[in-house]
Structure 1
């Protein structure tokens, strides 16, 4: 795969083994079965898939490994899984059932050494750290537990520390934009991409094809979206055609 090609990543937010979608992290509605949804995206030409067990950390339980295994079996594209990952053993368990990358959020804040150790043991390429960022005053703070808790950490400083610790990629979600379909937060996307040498996945707010193009022109290496793909508002093949026509390199 062309390492300079921009990636399109549908996201499955999973709650009680069902794919769900909300707005600003609340008011979840049921979208369907994770295995069927994953298979559809694989066939439609997604570059990767992201599977987030969105209540695992809040409920203090592990990711639903059995569901992840079923999803992985249907895919020929890389799969990133997050939610409830707290230890090196948790990472091992997910990689062993067919995951390609794991995404850590709350546990990285509680134990930053986990990132250093995980990158050393499994390789930076499979360690993604999710940053749920929300504007507080003039700065962006990092939130955890599905957006319930403000850590007070500055999102840009935290991203820089994660890169130094060996994290291979940042999944940057704007909580202010999540589910609103008003476009990604281009301000923090641009600032973070200028600061870091590792890829950034923009997440939160995609409502149309132009929003995804804007994320790429503001420094994102990949664009993650849920609603617009789940509800069939945008087909991945049409999106890639549009991006190519607008000078954005994608894999067809």
Structure 2
């Protein structure tokens, strides 16, 4: 049995961690490096930093966050948001990130996935997908921080991206995001069954049972969560202890 990973997500806007519901209504959740250090001590397996208001003039903020995090945190971390070129990917990896996450830029220029995989290795290229249900068993991909529908079918897109070289899928259900009503099991399972790379489930964690459900019924390889960790509802260790008690393999 593969070890299941628990990954706190830090959405960063103008140098601060924020969290909302269904991608809106953002609240401040603290300093990114301070939170990262806390999660490192709580035995998180990895971290994800997403610059949710990225633009070329603000990208240097995330470079500094990556540099500060790399000097104080000893677990792997991914940085995404505003990464549009292989040079942007190189800048983040050079700053200390272990992986880069691509979303909007990958859809606008799918060759970016291929170029990134060729230059840095597939393990450094995480495809982030924001998906909303548009019918029974169908999900549409959104870009620009969940603001813009693309018309792309989620399953077709993840398959294509993996063919291009994406080494992992960070899958966020826009319908479930921030609701604490549970992960989108159907979406996660469908994507997990469609691709050969690990899938990280994101959006909807509210109870310990939710983590277990998406890792078993949803067939996810890892779970991402934000507000339940940021605001102290659970610690990473509590989630791991619960999963272990239910028979899942986790790393302590």
TMscore range, shorter length: over 0.9
Q: 1:104-138 deviations in whole A, cap 9, x for unaligned?
A: 00000000000011101100011001000001133
Report what 1:135 is aligned to.
133
- Give the secondary structure class of the aligned counterpart of 2:59: coil
Aligned 1:1-252 pairs, distance under 5 A: 4-56=2-54, 62=59, 64-138=62-136, 139-217=138-216, 218-252=218-252
Deviation at 1:235, TM superposition (A): 1.2
Pairs aligned (count): 249
- Give the secondary structure class of the aligned counterpart of 1:107: helix
Please, what TM-score do these two structures have when normalized by structure 1?
0.96
Distance 1:169 1:185 in 2: 18
Deviation at 1:60, TM superposition (A): 7.7
Distance 2:57 2:219 in 1: 34
Check conservation: 1:60, 1:84, Cα contact below 8 A. no
- Give the secondary structure class of the aligned counterpart of 1:197: coil
- Give the secondary structure class of the aligned counterpart of 1:220: coil
Check conservation: 1:119, 1:127, Cα contact below 8 A. yes
Check conservation: 1:105, 1:144, Cα contact below 8 A. yes
- Give the secondary structure class of the aligned counterpart of 1:198: coil
Runs of 4+ deviating beyond 6 Å: none
Distance 2:65 2:39 in 1: 16
Check conservation: 1:141, 1:152, Cα contact below 8 A. yes
Check conservation: 2:14, 2:58, Cα contact below 8 A. no
Distance 2:80 2:251 in 1: 25
Q: 1:157-180 deviations in whole A, cap 9, x for unaligned?
A: 000001100100000000000000
Distance 1:60 1:163 in 2: 30
Check conservation: 1:193, 1:220, Cα contact below 8 A. yes
Moved more, 61-70 or 231-240: 61-70
Deviation at 1:61, TM superposition (A): 5.2
Unaligned runs of 5+ in 2: none
Unaligned runs of 5+ in 1: none
Check conservation: 2:70, 2:95, Cα contact below 8 A. yes
- Give the secondary structure class of the aligned counterpart of 2:182: coil
Please, what TM-score do these two structures have when normalized by structure 2?
0.96
